[in-house]
Every structure is written in C-alpha cells, then in structure tokens.
Amino acid sequence: MKPHIHPDYHPVVFQDAATGTQFLTRSTATSARTIEWATAEGVQTYPLIVVDITSDSHPFWTGSARHIDAAGQVEKFRRRYGGSPRR
C-alpha cells in the first residue's frame, strides 16, 4: 500500500440507537463523542458513533420482518380498480 494516502483506520464503538447494544470494531469514521470500553489492557477511550439500525434492531435479523403476499396485493388492486385478469 502507498504510504500517506489512506484514511486513519482505528477502533470505534458503534451503538444501536434503538436497543442500546454496543460493539467495538475498526472504522475510518470519527466522532466527538467518546466512551470508556473495558479491554484486556484495561479501560480504553474510543470514539462513539450512534447508528439508527444494526443487526440487533433490523426487522430482517430480528425475525419481525413483514412478508408481503404479492398475489394478495394484485387481487386487492383488481378489486379496487375493477380490472379483469389478462389472458
């Protein structure tokens, strides 16, 4: 890799705004907010980034995703607008 052209890649704590779940990972994102995080070397201070959705609160991953019945939607449209099925 070429030196001095890549952004700073550092440890960051992300927090789910809905559930409060936090996880430590590496990112180029920065934040003025910080958080104390316990590590094997002791308590460290990391930037804190609050995000709206993570796998902890996303409907697909939590099992609360709504499945749309496509055939039911077509029938609902036909009832509403009076179309007959094409053949």
Type of residue numbered 71: A
Q: Cα–Cα distance between 56 and 60 in angstroms, integer?
A: 10
Per-residue confidence (pLDDT) for residue 81, from 0 to 100 = 87
The size of the chain, in residues, is: 87
The pTM (predicted TM-score) of the whole model is: 0.64
CB 5 within 8 A of CB 28: no
Per-residue confidence (pLDDT) for residue 75, from 0 to 100 = 81
- pLDDT 10s digits, 10-32: 999 999 988 888 999 999 999 99
Q: Cα–Cα distance between 8 and 27 in angstroms, integer?
A: 8
Q: Cα–Cα distance between 47 and 35 in angstroms, integer?
A: 6
Mean pLDDT calculated for residue range 62-70: 63
Read off the tokens for 45: 């201070």
- pLDDT 10s digits, 22-63: 999 999 999 999 999 999 999 999 999 998 888 777 666 566
